[in-house]
Amino acid sequence: MPRNKAESIEKKQYPKFRKLLEERKNTLLQHIENVGAELSYLDQSRPPELSEEAQEEAAAISLKAVDAREREELEDIVLAIEKLDDKTYGTCDSCEEPIGLARINFLPSVRYCISCQTKLEERGKHQGSF
């Protein structure tokens, strides 16, 4: 038995977190869809004979319109749901130690334990200042 490990979530808590993650995922997807719908509405006011190039440009703009942070969160949620399927949910993606119940309750799509997250952020800061 591991000693002095951070309190991890139990498998019986998986359904609760799956529900939270699915709900958040649906909210994000709906928002992304709404942004797309707004853009296609705007498209209708344009001349119908758009070139392929112009259509590609419009698609690129619609992707940018979706907040980058929302897309990142959505990716994290998809990964978290995959970890639920793999029965590895609640462990760190980097060191595979338990993430800790308090941290997961606060952010169910969290991928790293606090020490790996801190390391990653410090690395990011160094890259940013370069």
Give CA–CA dist 68/76, Å, rounded: 12
Does position 81 bind Zn ion by CB under 5 A? no
Interface with Zn ion, residue 92, by CB under 5 A: yes
**Does 21 participate in binding Zn ion (rule CB under 5 A)?**
no
C-alpha distance from residue 26 to each of 8, 32, 79, 82, 110 (Å) = 26, 10, 15, 16, 17
110 near Zn ion, judged by CB under 5 A: no
* Spatial separation of the C-alpha atoms in residues 64 and 60, rounded to whole Å: 6
**Interior CA angle at 83 toward 80 and 86, to 5°?**
160
Stretch that binds Zn ion, among 11-19, 25-33, 44-52, 84-92 (CB under 5 A): 84-92
Q: Does 95 bind Zn ion (CB under 5 A)?
A: yes
42/107 with CB nearer Zn ion: 107
13 binds Zn ion (CB under 5 A): no
Binding segment for Zn ion (CB under 5 A), chosen from 42-50, 53-61, 72-80, 88-96, is 88-96
Among 43, 94, 105, 119, binds Zn ion (CB under 5 A): 94
What is the crossing angle of helices 14-43 and 52-65, to 10°?
140
Name the residues that contact Zn ion, by CB under 5 A: 92, 94-95, 113, 116
